[in-house]
Amino acid sequence: MSLVPGNVAAFLPRRAAERPWAPAIVAPSGRDRYGRPRSVHLTYRELDALTDRVARGLGRHGVGRGTRTVVMVPPGLELFALVFGLFKAGAVPVVVDPGLGLGNLKRCLDEADPEAFIGVSRAHAARLVLGWARRSLRRTVTVGRRGPWADTTLERVLADGDGDGAMAPVGSDEVAAVVFTSGSTGPPKGVVYRHGNFLAQVEMVGRVVEVRPGDVDLPTFPLFALFDPALGMTTVVPEMDPTRPSEVDPRRIVEAVEGWGATVMFGSPALLDTVGRWAAPRGVRLPSLRRVTTAGAPIAPRIVERFATLLGSDARILTPYGATESLPVASIAHDAILAETRFATDAGHGTCVGRPVDGAEVTIVRITDEPIASWREAEPLPVGEIGEIVVRGPAVTTEYLNRPEATAAAKIPLPDGGVAHRMGDVGSLDEDGRLWFCGRKAQRVVTPAGTLFTVPCEGVFNAHPAVFRSALVGVDRGRGVEPVIVVELDPAADRIDPKRLADELATRAAAHESTGAIRTVLFHPRFPVDVRHNAKIGREQLARWAAERLP
């Protein structure tokens, strides 16, 4: 697949010409009297025609080229039609996770200065009650019944969308969307995507996943689903709450895979863990799946191993590494993890996320919390040394919306006029060119004896069969920061004597260089996690919790 210049939505008419009758989007539509799932769908020809009408209709209602537009619609046919209709119109969708919390949502939307708001009725009600983007909004559209909260309805927009011509001739450098980060280690920031970034991502994701004609995708994270129409896959919208992947009903996921013959699937580590724990003991097999992608946080080898038992021998579980600001960066398949890298992870060397993908150039630079004003000031590190991960390439975004200080802290100007992105993560490259992830830079623990990195330390403790996950935190004891490991027990583990387990973990820590300085183990009932993937650990909250429990 080669890049198409200009509008990322230009993929849609191409797919409609290639496979007009193929289902593009399949969405759940309740259940029949026997409990069987019902669905509605759009073919590629229908999706292309519908998004044309959306683009023309929105233009006639004042939403056109460059209009920043909040979209708050649940995953389904309307969401795809609206996002790609906005792309075709040259408008700029503003994408914010509803699970971020009311305070974060208000801050994000006020910061984005959107001119238009498209949402379901309850989103409009929240907008009015809580004052979201009150000073900037000029146009409002409701999906569903019209009420006093909106100027018009999507039904009216579609009725006004007859005519010819819908694709705005935007350039690759024009802003395509604003996508807010998860805010797991700080306030959410609006990442400015240009059409060229999206085009590069489509090509890179297609290569990593090895997309084939006729692939059927079950994407359990809505943002990942938006790649599917450009890649020509059929999207099956899962029957689940996308803000709570760890609480998914495994039967619904298995039912969707089996019912539609899904060949590709995305799931966060938390979702794969939940589905695997239910399905593996029951002997469930999902032979249609050939690629399962998981991202959002490091995934424990035991979760990969368990889920792999559901798949055929030729299937692969891919664990790509990246961020909202640059995706994908690197990728590794589960067979390499289970056969080789897991042993280094268990010994405290971090998590291998594979080799950089084509189109992403990775450099490890010396850690600093200060801005790096130019590439000449970045100090590359040798193989094997842990530093900050920096990436260059066409998928790298160049700025945060209305956050010049955050942009300066995360971007490094390049001599050719482009930028490199500082991932905010630490890691190293090995002699084979593989990238090892060692955690968030902001979560490293600096002690009088040296610096400890979260993921290498946690890997040592996570290897114990009674440990579900662990978190390295630092507690200031007045004489310097003390490293503390906080442990969440595996729910399937038998009754355990906490003192005996603490002793076993202390012995394990003493046996490895990365964890030798850790003397204190605390047990926590349930870790705080991010709202997007339910997998990133809230170490800042755990550090405060630990400080309250130490003398």
Encode pLDDT of 166-216 as tens digits: 889 999 999 999 999 987 667 899 999 999 999 999 999 999 999 998 999
Structure tokens belonging to residue 382: 């040798």
pLDDT digits (tens, 9 = 90+) for 458-476: 999 999 999 999 999 999 9
User: Residue ranges of the domains in the chain?
Assistant: 8-13+38-194, 351-441, 444-549
Mean pLDDT to the nearest integer, 260-276? 97
**351-441 with 444-549: one CATH topology?**
no
- Predicted confidence band at 3 (pLDDT cuts at 50, 70, 90)? very low
Structure tokens belonging to residue 483: 């490293």
For the 351-441 domain, the top CATH level (class) is mainly beta
- Identify the CATH homologous superfamily for domain 444-549: ANL, C-terminal domain (3.30.300.30)
How high is the pLDDT of residue 1?
A: 38
Which three-class secondary structure state does DSSP give residue 473?
strand
How high is the pLDDT of residue 5?
A: 53
pTM: 0.95
Given the DSSP bridges, would you call strands 37-43 and 23-31 parallel, antiparallel or unpaired? Answer: antiparallel
How high is the pLDDT of residue 227?
A: 92
- Predicted confidence band at 268 (pLDDT cuts at 50, 70, 90)? very high
Give the start-end residues of each E strand in 163-320.
175-180, 190-194, 216-219, 234-236, 264-266, 291-293, 316-318
Which three-class secondary structure state does DSSP give residue 193?
strand
Instruction: Name which of 56, 89, 55 is nearest 174 in CA terms.
Output: 89
Mean pLDDT to the nearest integer, 312-326? 96
Q: Is the peptide bond before 328 cis (omega within 30 degrees of 0)?
A: yes
- Cβ neighbourhood burial of 432 (10 Å; 0-12, 13-18, 19+): exposed
- CATH architecture for segment(s) 8-13+38-194: 3-Layer(aba) Sandwich (3.40)
Structure tokens belonging to residue 173: 């450098």
- Is 90 exceeded by the pLDDT of residue 374? yes
Contact assessment for residue 317 and residue 294, using Cβ atoms and an 8 Å cutoff: yes
pLDDT digits (tens, 9 = 90+) for 9-45: 999 999 999 999 999 999 999 999 999 999 999 999 9
| Per-chain mean pLDDT for the chain | 94
How high is the pLDDT of residue 165?
A: 78
- Predicted confidence band at 531 (pLDDT cuts at 50, 70, 90)? confident
Give the CB-side neighbour count of residue 183, counting CA atoms within 13 A. 18
Contact assessment for residue 201 and residue 394, using Cβ atoms and an 8 Å cutoff: no
How high is the pLDDT of residue 319?
A: 97
pLDDT digits (tens, 9 = 90+) for 132-149: 999 999 999 999 987 788
